[in-house]
Amino acid sequence: MSNNPWLQIFHSRPSAKYQVFIFPGAGSAGYVYQTWDTNFPIYEFALVEYPGRFSRFGEEPFRTLKEYIQQLDKWLVPSIRKPCVFIGHSLGTAISFALAKHMVDMKKKNEMIKLMVMLGRGPPHLKDPSTTTIYDDPDIMQMIIPMLKADSLVADELQPKTLLDIPIIVYGGDKEENVDEALLKRWAELTTVEDFFRVRMFHGHHMFHSECGENVVKCLKEDLTNIVEKPQDEITYLTSYSVEDMSGNINDEKQKVAAL
């Protein structure tokens, strides 16, 4: 994987039991995730590097999901060697979901995906309200670099409403405009594994995973432990729609325990 232009491995762990693939948001430098794997010794973390950024800065950014899926099928899918987790933020949620759907359709290692964690964006079968009329303003468009314009085209592609037999958990920022809890809950429409579905709300904006990163990582560790690592017959899972405070406590009265 060291010669793979699409993947930047944070720390190589040949003996890791699991893999994590992080699909960053539009224009993201990925710095937010650089230290996450220190909290997950049995996981090997890899950042997905899109054309036009990171070490691939000189390349033309992709403008369609089809381009992403064709190349990820060639470069990322063969790199899946162990049970894995897809983590997507914003644009990355659209790309990771499209890739998972492609893997299911092609029956290509889809059983290796044990969990998808989606951050800061509604499901891809619905129009994203965070992409507004700013892209129709010529003065603003002149200030937006080609990479961001290309990212917005990819993120705005509506995908078919397809249910995947993969658990989905969603994280959001309670201060982010247009991406509220009600919208995030609609990710439940895209998974058949209803008992595992959960929305966690954190105190922050679109980059909440940077603003309160320690708490996000703490909750991620809990979710990976409960869903990815435990045998299914041992899982006792708390499904809630809540705001997570900085101590990791859940501030919400609506919760239920699903024991499988």
Provide the CATH number for the domain around residue 66: 3.40.50.1820
Q: What residues of the chain score a pLDDT lower than 50?
A: 1, 132-137, 140-141, 143-144, 237-242, 245-260
Strands 198-202 and 168-173: parallel
1 falls within a domain: no
127 falls within a domain: yes
Residue 128 φ then ψ, to 5°: -80, 110
The residue range of the domain holding 17 is 7-259
User: Domain tally for the chain?
Assistant: 1
2 falls within a domain: no
53 falls within a domain: yes
CA–CA gap between residue 86 and residue 194 (Å, rounded) = 18
Q: Among 57, 133, 68, 143, which Cα is nearest to 98's?
A: 68
pLDDT of the residue at 188: 97
CA angle 175, 193, 64 (to 5 degrees): 65
pLDDT of the residue at 123: 95
193 falls within a domain: yes
CA–CA gap between residue 184 and residue 164 (Å, rounded) = 17
CA–CA gap between residue 10 and residue 54 (Å, rounded) = 14
**Strand, helix or coil at 53?**
coil
Q: pTM for this one?
A: 0.83
pLDDT of the residue at 166: 97
pLDDT of the residue at 60: 84
154 falls within a domain: yes
Structure token digits, residue 121: 């964006």
173 falls within a domain: yes
pLDDT of the residue at 165: 96
pLDDT of the residue at 49: 92
The β-bridge partners of 108 are none
List of residues 6+ apart from 111 with CB closer than 8 A? none
